[in-house]
């Protein structure tokens, strides 16, 4: 809540609420006498210069009464909200203190009460407490309480389950201190937020009660009561209902907008804005002739986001049929965005530019729209990290596979389904016909990833882009998926771009390795040279820092000091220079990716 976003809605909400508060404080002081002055000569008048909103049955000025009524309306709403909030927070906190049985009872009651509309609870209470402000306030308080109770419960439960609370308990921090230091501060903000919204709600509900004649009774008056009086005369003089109605509407809108803005501010604070100066993207060099045999040919691929954030910088990559190329890098190196850019899936507001982007011998940017869709839809297969998220939870597995055939190949539903079952069998899913009729959640993690791969095999894939496809899986399952990917590549002659942070997996699966650092390719080498023939100091450090089954346990592991520059602050020169032992003055200039040995290229001035 430190800095509210300056949107028109935010400003309007803040202003309206401020206005309401000022009115509540100053209103009765200024117009109090005017609002009570009875004038038998001016009974039940409509709009006039003296009485802009008319007069009531005792000749009192309605505008003055509206301005005065703000205090009572707001005060009653505040009392009701406080009653509700206090009761609700206590009810919500009880389950974490009570024994299990009692806790379940309280939780059950709260859950049941939340379902009941507030107005119903308020009417119930009003019947018992009798007509009048007291009954209405108690009723609205009762209506506000369940919402608070539920919110407190959920919040407390989520914070109590947080790792840092577990740690505090293990450190021997007292229950009281855990509550005051860890739990309360972390749930206070959403509760306060809810308070703003509840206050607005209570104000409207009280107005509603008074409007029905169930709330504030004469001679007291709030906005709802004034509307009640005005409504009776609405056919004759509609203006008399206008004042109280507008006041209620403005108060409601004010609190609601303010609540929205506060909620937004609270949720945005967690993500700091990455601002940095824009930097010129290096000019694309000579492109040369396109490689007719390559499945994928990318030249000078750059992905930029507003604010000078450039996660991928002038990347070039060629993949031949049947080849498995590993793209390795740490988080933030731009490897996943490279995959998205090739698949045409970079999210807005990212912008992709490339000197060349050819898939299966055609530049995807020059193809007509329909042809491009077909080409990408059938020749490109993608596999993502989390197979649960990659399958639509609402649809059956078979249907999701069959879709590709019905949409792009014009197959009938039955044919498409039969092919889907066949493809599932091909990736060795047992009982494929049964599995095809199941939803994704009924499959195991490994099976889901197989299903995603099978989906890619529905068409005639020429390129498989696998983005961390085994990271979420267990090692034994990972091994099966890697084997499957290799088989699929061998069989279909498709090329595979395999993206991973795990250099060991890359080393095991791929033919060729491309190492990315801070958005650029720093080295490209045959897999055989990865273990001991890498030339770039970053690649070498990466290999050395990875413990494997042969690592000498008596020696410390290598580690790289410092951290990778973020996509907004990549230097013009070698991005790794800051962390590099070999760095020299020359590294201030960007080293080009140049041939080092056969099939091996490196971007380093110091590589020997």
Partner 1 sequence: MAESLRPSAAGPSAEGGRAGRALGRALGRVRSGFVLRRAVRFVVSLGVLLVASFAMMHLIPGDPVRASLGPAAPAELVTARRAALGLDEPILSQLLSYVSNVFRGDFGTSFLSGEPVREIIASRLPNTLGLALLATVVALLVAVPLGMWAAIRTENGRNRGTEVTFTSATGAAIAVPEFLYSIALVTVFAIGLRWFPPAGKAGPVSYVLPILSLAISPTAMIARICRVETLRELGMDYVRLARAKRLPAARLYFRHVLPNTLTATLTVGGMLLAALIAGSVLVEYVFAWPGLGLRVVESITQKDYPVAQGVILVYGAIVLVVNLLVDLLLGVLDPTSKLKET
Partner 2 sequence: MIIKNLTVRFGAFTAVDDVTLEIPDGAIVGLVGESGSGKSTLARAVSGLVPYTGAVEGVDPSRVQMVFQDPLTSLDPRMTVGASVAEGLRLPRAARQAEVERLLTLVSLPVSLAERYPRELSGGQRQRVAIARALGVRPALLIADEITSALDVSVQGAVLNLIRSLREEIGLSMLFISHNLAVVRYVSDVVAVMHRGRLVEMGPTEEVVGAPADDYTRSLLEAVPRLGRS
User: Which residues of this chain interact with partner 2, rule CB under 8 A?
Assistant: 162-164, 166-173, 181-182, 185-186, 272, 330-331, 474-476, 478-479, 482, 501-505, 507-510, 527-528, 530-531, 541-543, 545-549, 551, 553, 556-560, 563-564
> Of 237 and 478, which CB lies nearer to partner 1 in the complex structure?
237
> Of 181 and 408, which CB lies nearer to partner 2 in the complex structure?
181
Q: How far is the CB of 346 from partner 2 (least distance, A)?
A: 23
> Of 6 and 441, which CB lies nearer to partner 2 in the complex structure?
441
Give the Cα separation of 571 and 591 in Å (integer): 12
Q: How far is the CB of 185 from partner 2 (least distance, A)?
A: 5
Q: Which of the listed partners (partner 1, partner 2, none) does 128 bind, with a CB threshold of 5 to 8 Å by partner kind?
A: partner 1
Q: Which of the listed partners (partner 2, partner 1, none) does 170 bind, with a CB threshold of 5 to 8 Å by partner kind?
A: partner 2
From the list 542, 479, 510, the residue with the least C-alpha distance to 319 is 510
> Of 376 and 514, which CB lies nearer to partner 1 in the complex structure?
376
β-bridge mates for residue 380, sequence order: 463
> Of 210 and 333, which CB lies nearer to partner 2 in the complex structure?
333
> Of 241 and 580, which CB lies nearer to partner 2 in the complex structure?
580
Measured between alpha carbons, how far is residue 363 from residues 284, 360, 376, 464, 510 in Å? 17, 8, 11, 17, 26
Q: How far is the CB of 39 from partner 2 (least distance, A)?
A: 59
Q: Which of the listed partners (partner 1, partner 2, none) does 345 bind, with a CB threshold of 5 to 8 Å by partner kind?
A: partner 1
Q: Which of the listed partners (partner 2, partner 1, none) does 323 bind, with a CB threshold of 5 to 8 Å by partner kind?
A: none
β-bridge mates for residue 382, sequence order: 465
> Any contact of residue 128 with partner 1 (CB under 8 A)?
yes
> Of 385 and 496, which CB lies nearer to partner 1 in the complex structure?
385
Under rule CB under 8 A, which residues in 446-485 are in contact with partner 1?
Answer: 452, 455
Sequence-ordered alpha helix ranges (H) in 49-117:
62-93, 100-115
Stretch that binds partner 1, among 146-154, 253-261, 354-362, 537-545 (CB under 8 A): 253-261
Number of residues interacting with partner 1: please give it, by CB under 8 A: 73
> Of 113 and 447, which CB lies nearer to partner 2 in the complex structure?
447
State which H helix or E strand residue 23 sits in.
Answer: helix 8-36
Of positions 31, 148, 221, 255, contacts partner 1 by CB under 8 A = 255
Q: How far is the CB of 512 from partner 2 (least distance, A)?
A: 11
Q: How far is the CB of 545 from partner 2 (least distance, A)?
A: 4
Taking the C-alpha atoms of 416, 420, 425 and 430 in order, what is their torsion angle to the nearest 10 degrees? -120
> Any contact of residue 252 with partner 1 (CB under 8 A)?
yes
Measured between alpha carbons, how far is residue 30 from residues 24, 26, 27, 66, 416 in Å? 11, 6, 5, 12, 78
β-bridge mates for residue 383, sequence order: 466
Residue with tokens 């990549």: 570
Q: Which of the listed partners (partner 2, partner 1, none) does 394 bind, with a CB threshold of 5 to 8 Å by partner kind?
A: partner 1
Stretch that binds partner 1, among 85-93, 342-350, 493-501, 578-586 (CB under 8 A): 342-350
CA distance from start to end of the chain: 55
Say if residues 261 and 278 touch (Cβ distance below 8 Å): no
Q: Which of the listed partners (partner 2, partner 1, none) does 549 bind, with a CB threshold of 5 to 8 Å by partner kind?
A: partner 2
Q: Which of the listed partners (partner 1, partner 2, none) does 474 bind, with a CB threshold of 5 to 8 Å by partner kind?
A: partner 2
Q: Which of the listed partners (partner 1, partner 2, none) does 253 bind, with a CB threshold of 5 to 8 Å by partner kind?
A: partner 1
From the list 379, 386, 533, the residue with the least C-alpha distance to 457 is 379
Say if residues 381 and 464 touch (Cβ distance below 8 Å): yes
Stretch that binds partner 1, among 66-74, 203-211, 577-585, 589-597 (CB under 8 A): 203-211
> Any contact of residue 181 with partner 1 (CB under 8 A)?
no
From the list 443, 453, 515, the residue with the least C-alpha distance to 483 is 453
> Any contact of residue 349 with partner 1 (CB under 8 A)?
yes
> Any contact of residue 376 with partner 1 (CB under 8 A)?
yes
> Any contact of residue 132 with partner 1 (CB under 8 A)?
no
Q: Which of the listed partners (partner 2, partner 1, none) does 347 bind, with a CB threshold of 5 to 8 Å by partner kind?
A: partner 1
Give the Cα separation of 207 and 246 in Å (integer): 12
Instruction: For helices 445-456 and 397-408, give the axis angle rounded to 10 degrees.
Output: 10
250, exposed or middle or buried, with CB in 10 Å at 0-12, 13-18, 19+? middle
Map residue 480 onto helix, strand or coil. helix
Taking the C-alpha atoms of 287, 291, 292 and 298 in order, what is their torsion angle to the nearest 10 degrees? -70
Q: How far is the CB of 390 from partner 2 (least distance, A)?
A: 18
Give the Cα separation of 146 and 333 in Å (integer): 48
> Any contact of residue 127 with partner 1 (CB under 8 A)?
yes
> Of 88 and 314, which CB lies nearer to partner 1 in the complex structure?
88
Stretch that binds partner 1, among 29-37, 201-209, 418-426, 530-538 (CB under 8 A): 201-209
Q: How far is the CB of 538 from partner 1 (least distance, A)?
A: 29
Stretch that binds partner 1, among 81-89, 169-177, 344-352, 578-586 (CB under 8 A): 344-352
Listing DSSP states for 201-270 in one string gives HHHHHHHHHHHTTSS--TTS--HHHHHHHHHTTTTT-THHHHHHHHHHHHHHHHHHHHHHHHHHHHHHHT
> Any contact of residue 90 with partner 1 (CB under 8 A)?
no
> Of 161 and 349, which CB lies nearer to partner 2 in the complex structure?
161
Say if residues 453 and 383 touch (Cβ distance below 8 Å): yes
Map residue 598 onto helix, strand or coil. coil
């Amino acid at each position: 809540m430190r800095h509210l976003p300056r949107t028109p809605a935010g400003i309007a909400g803040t202003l309206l609420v401020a206005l309401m508060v000022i009115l509540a404080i100053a209103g009765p002081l200024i117009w109090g006498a005017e609002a009570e002055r009875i004038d038998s000569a001016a009974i039940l008048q409509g709009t006039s210069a003296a009485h802009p909103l008319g007069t009531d049955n005792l000749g009192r000025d309605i505008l003055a009464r509206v301005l005065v009524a703000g205090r009572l309306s707001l005060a009653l709403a505040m009392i009701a909200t406080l009653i509700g909030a206090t009761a609700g927070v206590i009810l919500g906190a009880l389950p974490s203190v009570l024994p299990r049985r009692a806790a379940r009872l309280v939780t059950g009651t709260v859950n049941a009460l939340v379902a009941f509309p507030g107005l119903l609870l308020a009417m119930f209470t009003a019947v018992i407490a009798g007509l009048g402000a007291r009954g209405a306030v108690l009723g609205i308080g009762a209506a506000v309480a369940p919402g608070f109770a539920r919110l407190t419960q959920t919040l407390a439960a989520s914070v109590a389950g947080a790792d840092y609370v577990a740690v505090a308990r293990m450190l021997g921090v007292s229950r009281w201190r855990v509550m005051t230091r860890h739990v309360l501060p972390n749930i206070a903000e959403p509760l306060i937020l809810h308070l703003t919204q509840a206050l607005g709600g209570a104000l409207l509900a009280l107005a509603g009660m008074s409007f029905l004649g169930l709330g504030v009774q004469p001679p007291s008056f709030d906005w709802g009561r004034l509307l009640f009086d005005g409504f009776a005369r609405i056919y004759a003089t509609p203006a008399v209902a206008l004042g109280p109605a507008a006041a209620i509407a403005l108060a409601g809108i004010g609190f609601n907008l303010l609540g929205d803005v506060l909620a937004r501010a609270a949720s945005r604070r967690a993500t700091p804005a990455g601002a940095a100066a824009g930097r010129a993207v290096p000019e694309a060099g000579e492109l040369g002739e396109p490689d007719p045999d390559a499945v994928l040919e990318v030249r000078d691929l750059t992905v930029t986001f507003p604010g000078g954030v450039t996660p991928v910088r002038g990347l070039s990559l060629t993949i031949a049929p049947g080849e498995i190329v590993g793209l390795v890098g740490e988080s933030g190196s731009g490897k996943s965005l490279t995959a998205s850019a090739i698949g045409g899936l970079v999210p807005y507001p990212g912008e992709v530019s490339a000197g060349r982007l050819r898939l299966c011998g055609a530049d995807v940017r020059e193809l007509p729209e329909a042809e491009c869709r077909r080409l990408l839809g059938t020749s490109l297969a993608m596999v993502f990290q989390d197979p649960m998220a990659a399958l639509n939870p609402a649809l059956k597995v078979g249907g999701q596979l069959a879709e590709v055939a019905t949409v792009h190949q014009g197959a009938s539903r039955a044919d498409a389904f039969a092919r889907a079952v066949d493809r599932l069998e091909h990736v060795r899913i047992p009982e494929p016909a049964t599995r095809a009729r199941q939803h994704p959640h009924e499959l195991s993690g490994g099976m889901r990833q197989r299903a995603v791969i099978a989906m890619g095999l529905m068409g005639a894939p020429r390129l498989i882009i696998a983005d961390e496809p085994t990271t979420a899986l267990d090692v034994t399952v990972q091994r099966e998926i890697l084997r499957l990917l290799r088989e699929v590549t061998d069989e279909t002659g498709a090329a595979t771009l395999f993206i991973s942070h795990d250099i060991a997996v890359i080393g095991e699966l791929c033919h060729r390795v491309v190492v990315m650092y801070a958005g650029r390719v720093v080295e490209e080498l045959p897999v055989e040279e990865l273990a001991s023939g890498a030339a770039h100091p970053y690649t070498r450090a990466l290999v050395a820092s990875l413990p494997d089954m042969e690592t000498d346990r008596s020696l410390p592991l290598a580690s790289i000091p410092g951290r990778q520059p973020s996509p907004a602050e990549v230097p013009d020169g070698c991005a790794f220079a800051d962390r590099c032992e070999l760095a020299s003055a020359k590294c201030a200039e960007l080293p080009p990716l140049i041939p080092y040995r056969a099939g091996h290229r490196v971007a380093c001035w110091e590589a020997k």
